[in-house]
Amino acid sequence: MYLIPNFVFNSIYEITPAFFSQHGLRGMLVDLDGTMASSRAPLPPAEVRPWLDALQASGVRVLVLSNNKESRVRRFCAPLGVPFLHRAAKPLGRGFRRGAKALGLPIHQIAVVGDQIYTDTFGGNLAGAVTCFVRSINRNDFWISVRHQLEKPFIYWGKQKGGMP
């Protein structure tokens, strides 16, 4: 089922270079809001930089794939020096295909990392990527909590199929 992630993590920081190596992955399309930072944080938290540096040093190609507007994504990504695609229209396939093309990799060698089952996981699975669900940083937000209740069965099934590395 397209709504079930391949892997479930508590945060992006559990996704290591070893994970990419073990699963034959060479690239990552990572969501921004709720995944890398709170949707209210204009700039990346300090711990994002060393995490990205470790992935890139191991050869993982990284691109931020966001449905947000260009000004938001550009401001966040500029200090990190990572490429991005804004208004990606997730879960539609176009954004995932453009991301894979920008990374220069086939989609099956890419991990899609995000905090939303209905956009990141669904779209990533439809595109043929390996999907990694992470708990939302914004989980105390009322609407995120409501959405999470609807996502719980799919997260559970993702964990059950061996998706907790």
Q: Which of 36-40, 41-45, 119-123, 142-146 has the lowest mean pLDDT?
A: 142-146
- CA dihedral angle for residue 56, residue 139, residue 44, residue 103, rounded to 10 degrees: 30
Q: For all residues of the chain together, what is the average pLDDT?
A: 92
69, 67, 33, 68: which is closest to 141 by C-alpha?
33
Residue 144 has pLDDT above 80, yes or no: no
Assess if residue 1 is contained within a domain.
no
| pLDDT given for residue 59 in this prediction | 98
- Confirm if 104 and 61 have CB atoms less than 8 A apart: yes
* pTM metric for this prediction: 0.91
Q: Are 28 and 56 in contact (CB under 8 A)?
A: no
The total number of structural domains that make up the chain: 1
Quote the pLDDT of residue 147: 66
Q: Is the pLDDT confidence value at 47 over 60? A: yes
In-domain check, residue 58: yes
Rounded Cα distance between 48 and 13, Å, is 8
Return the pLDDT at 39: 87
pLDDT at 164: 53
Residue 85 domain boundaries: 7-160
Q: CATH number of the domain at 97, please.
A: 3.40.50.1000
Q: Token digits for 110? A: 């890419």
